[in-house]
């Protein structure tokens, strides 16, 4: 299936991310940008001195380690009020904690999507096959004391 056929099948315009700004995208287009890596659902540690943010393997209590998705996405804020709802307007203030492979961050920085991104590859599994996602690598936050998160740091890919 060609990229155009995949886009038409999904109801999205082919290469919409190249034709529209983040603010111009529909809700469906915005949601389609998520590659499903799961890294935004990881708890992070911020160095107080440098401001540098480090990813941990400690995932939000709503994270599904098998699917690499939020198990309660549409109502997540009822359970996790501090969960950030990313919008085109909020990217500048949240860019520091987004993974460097994140499509939202890449497009905000005017960079292209990676070849493994599902919108390019046509497969929702390509992010996992490329080794970018954290599928099967997390531990739920309720199993790890916050003081021990530093023992679960991971290198960002």
DSSP readout, 54-108? Answer: EEEEEE-TTEETTTTEETTGGGHHHH-TT-----TTTHHHHGGGS-TT-HHHHHH
pTM of the model: 0.86
pLDDT band at 9 (very low <50, low <70, confident <90, very high): very low
Helix (H, G, I), strand (E, B) or coil at 10: helix
pLDDT band at 24 (very low <50, low <70, confident <90, very high): very high
């Amino acid at each position: 299936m060609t990229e155009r056929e995949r886009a038409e099948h999904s109801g999205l315009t082919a290469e919409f991310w190249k034709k529209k700004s983040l603010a111009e995208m529909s809700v469906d287009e915005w949601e389609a940008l998520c590659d499903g890596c799961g890294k935004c659902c990881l708890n992070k540690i911020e160095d107080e001195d440098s401001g540098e943010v480090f990813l941990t393997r400690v995932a939000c209590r709503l994270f599904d380690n098998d699917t690499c998705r939020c198990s309660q996405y549409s109502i997540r804020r009822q359970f996790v009020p501090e969960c950030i709802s990313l919008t085109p307007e909020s990217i500048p203030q949240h860019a520091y904690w987004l993974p460097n492979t994140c499509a939202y961050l890449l497009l905000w920085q005017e960079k292209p999507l990676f070849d493994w991104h599902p919108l390019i590859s046509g497969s929702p599994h390509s992010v996992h096959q490329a080794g970018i996602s954290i599928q099967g690598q997390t531990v739920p936050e309720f199993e790890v004391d916050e003081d021990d998160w530093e023992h679960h740091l991971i290198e960002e890919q």
